[in-house]
Structure 1
Amino acid sequence: MRIAASIFSLLSIAFVLSSCQTAEEIRAADEARCGGYGFKRGSENFANCLMNQDLSRRADQRAFMESNNDFFWGPTVVVGGPGYYYHRGYWRH
């Protein structure tokens, strides 16, 4: 069973690393997309298109992190709040 778990974890790590894109690949994809929209390379509109692609990607990353906030950081615990505290899996007052 340990061997199967080890193999599964190695395969999952390899899958995650293979799906990563380098900065050059991302830039090339953004330039291709903006060129596909009809913007000429070197123009102000092309630069604005590249900027909007980057801003959209960052907004998607923020939305993903915020939607999975409990997964990444755990439940919110208020320390020294108005009489409620978290103890052994339950909120008490």
Structure 2
Amino acid sequence: MRARVVFLLLTAAAIGGCTTLSPAEVRRNDEIQCRDYGFRPGTASFAECLQRIDLDRRADRRARLYNDGPFVRGGIIYGGFYDRW
């Protein structure tokens, strides 16, 4: 019985960890972070803060996409072949 409860809790935690934020929630969190940094909404510096957060998020996404592939590990792809330096 106890093992079943532990299994159900672990399964629920794994499923709960797979949720993603909606674009509105991401924007709200970004705005909160910029306010916490001291920027005031409606100013150019606030807009720049939001832009930098978005650019950082995109750079992280590109890094995961291009650097975590199974065939790219510190080398370059040249002419269709994988060559190491």
Could you tell me which residue of structure 1 aligns to residue 15 of structure 2?
A: 14
Could you tell me which residue of structure 2 aligns to residue 89 of structure 1?
A: none
Amino acid across the alignment from 2:40: K
Q: Which runs of 5+ in 2 are unaligned?
A: 1-10, 72-76
Could you tell me which residue of structure 2 aligns to residue 3 of structure 1?
A: none
RMSD in angstroms over aligned alpha carbons?
2.7
Query: Is 2:47 the counterpart of 1:47?
Result: yes
- Give the Cα separation in 2 of the matches to 1:37 and 1:15: 30
Matching of residues 12-91 of structure 1 within 5 Å = 14-15=15-16, 17-18=18-19, 20-70=20-70
Corresponding residue SS for 1:69: coil
The TM-score, its normalising length taken from structure 2, stands at 0.63
**Percent of residue pairs bearing the same amino acid type:** 34
Q: In the TM superposition, what is the alpha-carbon distance from 1:16 to its structure 2 partner?
A: 5.3
Q: In the TM superposition, what is the alpha-carbon distance from 1:13 to its structure 2 partner?
A: 8.0
Q: Which runs of 4+ in 1 moved over 6 A?
A: none
Query: Which whole-Å deviations, capped at 9, do the CAs of 1:62-89 have from their partners, x for residues lacking one?
Result: 0111121227xxxx7x66x7xxxxxxxx
Query: Which whole-Å deviations, capped at 9, do the CAs of 1:24-70 have from their partners, x for residues lacking one?
Result: 11001100000001100000000000000000000000011112122
Q: Which has the larger radius of gyration?
A: 1
